[in-house]
């Protein structure tokens, strides 16, 4: 387009691409971009450089023209030295250090479908970009990001929000189509399933997610962790819509966190710390070969079963999972279930209303922890379940043929079929003429037992061991009390058997009350 001169005061107009070198003080108007320029003039006239200077208008790109950002740190009361001379960057360069999902079109208003914008941001920053030096963390400002399809998280993605209750990705699928997952991992070419890692693609790895939530209002799974390695989830909530009615049994089948992989890309070294998992049938579910995955300092709430490893595994299943220092509450069935898996540990967790089908104490429906395969451990776990409920469904159930280790509330030890209950105590009343019970146990889980005990009564002390074989068929009860004492304690201990129960009983002479401390060891 030709340049038109419209007055003796030199003004020009035309397309941005045709902007010429303007004379000193001459104005040039770029019609297509609506930007205004003025000529610098000559060096002889005093211009610092030959060229055109843009006059700022509402259509100017301020970030593009700014060339003088220097970090000052003036809040500290002085100007920080960045170099000599001071380092300068454009404001655009400075702001490109930081990427918001809203830069890619996401709204976060809870109404706009942000699926395409979120997936575009993840693809552009972490899949399309091959240079690791220019990858940027993706920030989700506080808001609800409505989605209608699965969010695809590629290798090296680092995404973070402003808190699990503030930055929320929520799947709200319509009635015609329900996405299988709220979010899932993919390889660098966004391949999934059997194709993951093919065509020279990088498998999911080094993914970091923090301070946000993934939710579903539909009957979808929340996270598919597929072939992921060395990944970290910190302060993240995974929430489904289920309530006590829909997760009173396993029929709904939704999973908060599903782990899958292939023999060529085994999931490993994944950590979930300070995460809350709720509102699904299963909290964590996997049958896949996978290893060294940790859940710590989190909460499992409102689920049918919180952790299920290896129910349908064939070959090598899950191994090396660590479930440590979590709170379990409102779990309808078993909270932790290890089967067809090995080298897994549940440790220092607190189990409140678990395995009662949401009916509380007095209504045990299943064991809180089930260990159905060898080489698994439960150590230091604490249970709300009381002794009466434990007699119906034990706090920890180790299958009879399984070699595993467990401790219960700091008093019981289970090693395979061997159980030892320690730290038990009972007052022995003075002048107890008729036999009184120290304890009564159901015989069904006992074949024989050993009681190690100590008695203190006044200044007398007694230490002994009772071994007993319970009756079987025509064979009667048999027991033997082997002890030593510094003087006669006046206590007579005996083992009796009545129907399906046996008891340790005592009588005492007339001196003072006594105290017995004891442990029971038996084979189940």
Instruction: Give the whole-angstrom CA distance, residue 364 versus residue 391.
Output: 10
CA separation for the pair 457, 516 (Å, rounded): 9
Which of 132-146, 259-273, 386-400 is modeled with the greatest confidence? 259-273
pLDDT at 1 exceeding the cut of 50:
no
Helix (H) or strand (E) holding 205: none
Q: Cα angle vertex 226, ends 339, 278, to 5°?
A: 65
Predicted confidence at residue 489, as pLDDT, reads 96
Q: Is 430 helix (H, G, I), strand (E, B) or coil?
A: coil
The stretch 352-368 carries a mean pLDDT of 95
Query: At residue 373, does pLDDT exceed 50?
Result: yes
Give the mean model confidence (pLDDT) for residues 117-142. 87
- pLDDT score of 139: 97
Q: Do 295 and 260 form a contact (C-beta atoms < 8 A)? A: no
Please say whether the structural domain 424-523 has been given the CATH code 3.50.50.60.
Answer: no
The arithmetic mean of pLDDT across residues 58-76, rounded, is 70
**The pLDDT of residue 2 is above 70:** no
Using 50, 70 and 90 to split pLDDT, how confident is the model at 95?
confident
Q: Which CATH class is domain 98-241?
A: mainly beta
* 6-33 per-position pLDDT tens digit: 445 578 888 988 888 888 888 999 988 8
pLDDT of residue 268 exceeding 70, the answer is: yes
Give me 347's structure tokens: 């440790």
Q: What distance in Å separates the CA atoms of residue 524 and residue 511, rounded to the nearest whole number? A: 39
Does the pLDDT of residue 497 top 60, yes or no?
A: yes
Distance CA 440, CA 391 (A): 11
pLDDT of residue 63: 64
pLDDT, greater one: 5 or 356: 356
What pLDDT sits at residue 279? 97
Of the two residues 521 and 315, the one the predictor is more confident about is 521
Structure tokens at 115: 């699926």
pLDDT above 70: residue 146: yes
Domains in the chain: boundaries: 11-58, 98-241, 279-416, 424-523
* Statement: residue 522 has pLDDT above 60: yes
Q: pLDDT at position 328, please?
A: 98
Q: Which residue has the higher pLDDT, 267 or 95?
A: 267
C-alpha distances in Å from residue 309, one per residue of 158, 343, 493, 511 = 28, 11, 46, 57
pLDDT surpasses 50 at 278: yes
């Amino acid at each position: 387009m030709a340049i038109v001169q419209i007055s003796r005061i030199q003004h020009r107009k035309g397309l941005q691409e045709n902007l010429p070198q303007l004379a000193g003080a001459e104005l040039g108007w770029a019609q297509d971009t609506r930007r205004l320029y003025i000529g610098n003039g000559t060096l002889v006239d005093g211009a610092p450089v030959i060229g055109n200077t843009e006059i700022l208008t509402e259509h100017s790109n301020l970030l593009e023209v700014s060339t003088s950002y220097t970090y000052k740190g003036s809040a500290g009361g002085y100007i920080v030295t960045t170099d000599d001379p001071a380092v300068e960057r454009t404001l655009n360069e400075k702001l490109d250090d930081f990427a918001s999902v809203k830069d890619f079109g996401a709204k976060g208003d809870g109404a706009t479908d942000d699926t395409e914008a979120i997936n575009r941001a993840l693809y552009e920053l972490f899949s399309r970009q091959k240079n690791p030096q220019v990858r940027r963390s993706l920030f989700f400002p506080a808001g609800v990001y409505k989605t209608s399809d699965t969010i695809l998280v590629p290798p090296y993605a680092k995404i973070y929000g402003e808190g699990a209750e503030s930055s929320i990705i929520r799947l709200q699928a319509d009635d015609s189509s329900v996405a299988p997952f709220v979010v899932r991992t993919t390889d660098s070419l966004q391949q999934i399933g059997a194709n993951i890692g093919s065509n020279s693609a990088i498998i999911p790895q080094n993914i970091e997610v923090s301070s946000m939530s993934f939710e579903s209002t539909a009957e979808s799974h929340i996270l598919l962790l597929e072939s992921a390695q060395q990944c970290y989830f910190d302060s993240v909530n995974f929430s489904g819509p289920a309530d006590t009615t829909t997760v009173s049994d396993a029929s709904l089948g939704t999973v908060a966190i599903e782990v899958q992989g292939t023999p060529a890309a085994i999931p490993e070294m994944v950590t979930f710390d300070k995460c809350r998992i709720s509102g699904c049938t299963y909290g964590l579910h996997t049958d896949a070969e996978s290893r060294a995955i940790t859940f710590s300092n989190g909460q499992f709430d409102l689920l049918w079963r919180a952790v299920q490893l290896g129910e349908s595994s064939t070959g090598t299943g899950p191994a090396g999972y660590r479930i440590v220092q979590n709170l379990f509450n409102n779990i309808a069935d078993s909270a932790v279930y290890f089967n067809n898996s090995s080298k897994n540990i549940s440790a220092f967790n607190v189990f409140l209303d678990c395995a009662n089908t949401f009916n509380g104490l007095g209504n045990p429906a299943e064991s809180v922890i089930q260990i159905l395969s060898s080489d698994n451990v439960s150590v230091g776990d604490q249970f709300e379940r009381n002794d009466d409920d434990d007699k119906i469904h034990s706090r920890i159930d180790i299958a009879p043929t399984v070699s595993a280790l467990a401790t219960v509330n700091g008093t019981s030890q289970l090693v395979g079929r061997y159980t030892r209950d320690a730290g038990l105590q009972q007052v022995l009343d003075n002048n107890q003429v008729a036999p009184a019970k120290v304890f009564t146990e159901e015989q069904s889980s006992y074949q024989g037992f050993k009681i190690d005990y100590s008695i203190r009564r006044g200044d007398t002390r007694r230490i002994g061991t009772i071994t007993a074989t319970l009756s079987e068929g025509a064979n009667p009860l048999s027991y033997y009390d082997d002890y030593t004492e510094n003087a006669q304690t006046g206590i007579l201990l005996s083992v009796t058997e009545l129907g399906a129960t046996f008891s340790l009983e005592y009588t005492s002479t007339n001196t003072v009350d006594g105290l017995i401390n004891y442990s029971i060891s038996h084979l189940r």
